[in-house]
Structure 1
Amino acid sequence: MQLQLISFVLIILHCMDYTGCQQHSSSRHRQHKQISGVSSGCQQGGCLTCSDYNGCLSCKPRFFMHLERIGMKQIGVCMTSCPPGFYGTRSPERNTCTKCRSDCESCFHKTFCTHCRAGFYLHQGKCQENCPEGMVRNDAQRECVYRCPAECEVCVSSDTCTRCRPGLYQLSGRCHHVCPEDYEPNDKLMECTPQVHCEVGEWSEWSPCSRSGRTCGFKRGQETRTRQVLQYPSPFGNPCPEISEINECLLKRRKCPGERRKNERKERRNRNNRKDKENPGGRRERKIERERERETGEREDSDIRNKTEHRRRRGHETDPVTPAVGLVQ
């Protein structure tokens, strides 16, 4: 009887232990599934091989393997680029994400930081607590920057300025209140720029001697010559010299074509004006005379037309009539 009771108790304990194992196994399986869901597991597009428990085991080409820590576990994740604080290394076997140094917030390689953690300052790819001599700490960028000269606002070294303080002009890494010789201030760029002087070409030939646009009918005239501007000056450069010249010239006087008739008409008008002054009624008499001459000319023209028309009519009337030719029977 006691033996049967002991056997029954053992059976019950075994069943309880088995049930607990099943529940524990089911819980672990759900936890694995949950972890797999966090790391994207086999559903992740970059995975080449994977498991539901460990995530990605290998990645497709050009993807980086990154191990994400979840509690006490590390899950493999395939990424196109490594997250901040890691840098990527490539090899024929696999591409992996490697953690930067402890003082680096981001890095390009294990020996080259691009941004430092708080309390450190970047200089030549390394994070340092103290900057080298001649440099000061920039807390905003967490970098070591050069101690610029008093007149400089931004510099790349203690003696090379890239931007001057307001009102100063930059030239070859230095700041100037007044630009050196052969340079001029550029207020738009706040720089000293080289001066540009005017350049002109050769003189042209002298033009023909003329006066009021004519080349005849005078004795004294003018001739001109010009040259072109090859390079216009900058605001402070040497200005351009004269580009045209005028010279007095002498010409053997000769009459222009048609000038004789013009002079005759002018002289006739002058005679008529003198006559009008001497004889106030002369103008009226000449006007009456011109009207008579016009009427006489008109009558002569009318007579000529009438005679021509009369001869034409007589010619039509005296034309012989051609008799009709009868038919031969």
Structure 2
Amino acid sequence: MQLQLISFVLIILHCMDYTGCQQHSSSRHRQHKQLSGVTSGCQQGGCLTCSDYNGCLSCKPRFFMHLERIGMKQIGVCMTSCPPGFFGTRLPERNTCTKCRSECDSCFNKNFCTRCRAGFYLHLGKCLENCPDGLIRSDTQRECVPQCPAECESCVNSETCTRCRPGLYQLSGRCHHVCPEDYEPSDKLMECVPQVHCEVGEWSEWSPCSKAGRTCGFKRGQETRTRQVLQYPSPFGKPCPDISEIKECLVKRRKCPGGRRKNDRRERRNRNNRKDKENQEGRRERKRDREREQEERDTGEREDSDNRNKTEHRHRRGHYTEPLSPEGSLVQ
């Protein structure tokens, strides 16, 4: 009975004439049904027809037929996708699961592996025991990976880094301790980024000649002009040049409009200031005179007091002499 099932499967897989295959398969199916008790009311959801002894014989559309070995016996199972180690093949008559190559853990088709078994390393869809030159084996990925330069943490190949070691800056797949000319380091990105230089606009026209905010009443003054910053520089870019300039200028000396009134006011202020100064000097002089007079009075009072004290002293000693008259005679 098992030989009949195997012949039935081979006929379906190798039939080239689809119409003839359907007729031949139908006749073989009826023959097998009579021999092994095939039924269409299968319990498994993906089975279209099945056998109590061999499991699924055919699957519903979009399901894959997978033969599971149990000892010497093979059981047909209908699956939505093939298990690991197998790849799916869709044919007009049925979809089947085919085993990958022995070194493949999983594969896309017979000639293209997607993951290798232990001891093999994936490279371009092939599972190899030794990697080509320039590549090294990665036991965690089971792949042949590039041998990165010493300054790289990860790379695409031996010349192109995708991430640099700490303290280095990446630029165009290379790692740099110091960024090349016209580039500067970015500690945030850990990359060499282009420098940005300052850009300024055109100079404005020179301002009118002025002095202390005035444009008249002087001979020598200054003119100024300015320009705007269009692009401020990056930290290492070229700084901005001067955005303002000043130069000396000469004008034909002329009086400002309303200058006479200003001069009159200035003269009045000067006269008033002089009067105030004179008044202050007069007050100070009078004060000094009063101080001198007071000092003289104080001196005279001290002398009179001294004379009186001397007279009283002589009286007490008995040496009093009568005062003389202005003519020199005694006072009667």
Opposite residue 153 of structure 1, the aligned amino acid is E
The one-letter code sitting in structure 2 at the alignment partner of 1:136 is I
Two-structure CA RMSD over aligned residues (Å): 3.5
- Could you say which residue in structure 2 is the equivalent of 1:327? none
Cα distance change on mapping 1:119 and 1:217 into 2, 3 Å: same
Q: Which residue of 2 aligns with 1:136?
A: 136
- Please tell me the residue identity of whatever aligns with 1:119: G
Question: Match for residue 12 of structure 2?
Answer: none
Q: Is the 8 A contact 2:106 2:115 kept in 1?
A: yes
Measured in 2, the distance between the counterparts of 1:197 and 1:151 equals 30
Q: What is the 5 A alignment of 1:230-241?
A: 230-241=230-241
- Shift of the 166–261 alpha-carbon distance from structure 1 to 2, 3 Å rule, reads same
Alignment partner, residue 220 of structure 1: 220
Partner of 1:58: 59
Q: CA deviation at 1:68?
A: 5.7
* AA in 1 matched with 2:111: T
Alpha-carbon distance, 1:96 to partner: 4.3
Letter matched to residue 261 of structure 1: R
The answer to whether 1:69 aligns with 2:68 is yes
Matches within 5 A, 1:14-163: 41-42=44-45, 49-51=48-50, 53=52, 54-55=55-56, 57-60=58-61, 63-67=62-66, 69=68, 71=70, 72-79=73-80, 81-91=81-91, 94-163=94-163
Instruction: Give the aligned residue type for 1:187.
Output: D
CA distance in 1, matches of 2:278, 2:140: 108
Task: Tell me by how many angstroms 1:123 deviates.
Answer: 0.9
What CA distance in whole angstroms lies between the structure 2 residues aligned with 1:195 and 1:247? 34
2:161 is matched by which residue type in structure 1?
A: C
- Match of 1:141, SS state, is coil
Q: Distance in 2 between matches of 1:57 and 1:93?
A: 10
**1:118 is aligned with what amino acid?**
A
Measure, in 1, the Cα distance between the counterparts of 2:199 and 2:268.
Answer: 57
Alpha-carbon distance in structure 2 between the residues aligned to 1:93 and 1:246: 93
Normalised by the length of structure 2, the TM-score is: 0.60
- Secondary structure in structure 1 of the residue aligned to 2:269: helix
Matches within 5 A, 1:257-268: 257-268=257-268
Count of residues paired in the alignment: 240
How far apart, CA to CA, are the structure 2 residues paired with 1:96 and 1:213?
Answer: 97
Distance (whole Å) between structure 1 residues aligned to residue 106 and residue 259 of structure 2: 98
Q: For residue 88 of structure 1, report the CA deviation from its aligned partner.
A: 3.6
Deviation at 1:52, TM superposition (A): 7.7
In 2: Cα distance, 1:92 partner to 1:229 partner: 73
Distance 1:248 1:157 in 2: 65
Offset at residue 136 of structure 1 (A): 1.6
For 1:210 and 1:50, how far apart are their aligned partners in 2? Answer: 107
Q: Distance in 2 between matches of 1:210 and 1:93?
A: 101
Distance 1:159 1:211, change over 3 A: same
Q: Distance in 2 between matches of 1:277 and 1:174?
A: 84
Larger radius of gyration: 2
Is the counterpart of residue 168 in structure 1 residue 157 in structure 2?
no
Distance 2:79 2:112 in 1: 24
Displacement after TM superposition at 1:258 (Å): 4.4
Alignment CA distance shift 1:92-1:208 (3 Å): farther
Q: Indicate if the aligned counterparts of 1:64 and 1:82 stay in contact, CA closer than 8 A.
A: no
SS in 1 for 2:241: coil
Q: Contact 1:103/1:120 (CA < 8 Å) preserved in 2?
A: yes
Q: d(CA) in 2 for partners of 1:115 and 1:219?
A: 92
Contact 2:66 2:96 survives alignment (8 Å): no
CA–CA distance in structure 1, aligned partners of residues 253 and 224 of structure 2: 20
> Post-superposition shift, 1:198?
2.8
The residue type paired with residue 206 of structure 1 is W
TM-score, normalisation: structure 1: 0.60
